[in-house]
Amino acid sequence: MKLVIAIIQSHKLDEVMKALDDKQVYLKTVTNVLGCGRQKGDTEVYRGVKEAGNLLKKVRLEIAVNDNYLESTIQAIMNSARTGKIGDGKIFVVDLSQCYRIRTGEMGPVAIG
């Protein structure tokens, strides 16, 4: 079992969701997040005062997958979230030691699907 954490461009969320659906990966958690990578954030101006280095708005997906779904999940995100420009984001994969489904009490790989 793995936990896939993807930080992507906000406007790519629709495409990523569709790509994941196509691979039958339906269960996910999505949050708005702020961050900066090599872009070093963005500049905004309020009453003449420059706010440099503002963090950029990104979207984070958290997807718990069984091992046999890992590769297709990552490929789906990679292909759908890419624009080729700086700021496309990252994908982190971490080992998942356990998973429980609260409603049924199931645990392990069966609880992920």
Partner 1 sequence: MMQAVNYTDVVFILLATALVMLMTTPGLAFFYGGLVRRKNVLSTMMQSFVMLCLVSLQWIFGGYSLAFGPDVGHFVGNLSWFGLHGVGMAPNPDYAATIPHQLFMVYQMMFAVITPALITGAFAERMKFSSCVVFCLLWTTLVYDPVCHWVWGSGGWLKERGVLDFAGGIVVHATSGISALVCALVLGRRKGYPGHGIPPHNMTYALLGASLLWFGWFGFNAGSALAANEVAVSAFIVTNTAAAAAALVWMAIEWRVIGKPTALGGATGAVAGLATITPAAGFVAPLFAVVIGVLAGGCCYMAVVLVKQRFEYDDSLDAFGVHGIGGILGVIATGLFAQKAINPAGNNGLFFSNPSFLNTQLFGVFVAIAYAALLSFVILKAVDAVLGLRVKDEEEVMGLDHTQHQESAYTLID
Interacting residues with partner 1 (CB under 8 A) = 11, 14, 32-34, 42-46, 57
Please identify, using beta-carbon distances, which residue of 43 and 79 lies nearer to partner 1: 43
| Helices 13-22 and 67-81: angle between axes, nearest 10 degrees | 140
Residue type for position 111: A
**Minimum gap (Å) between residue 42 Cβ and partner 1:** 7
Residue nearer to partner 1 on the CB measure, 42 or 62:
42
Using CB atoms within 10 Å of the CB of residue 77, give its burial: 0 to 12 exposed, 13 to 18 middle, 19+ buried: buried
In whole angstroms, the minimum distance from the beta carbon of 5 to partner 1 comes to 18
Tokens of 10: 């906000």
CB of 22 to partner 1, least distance (A): 16
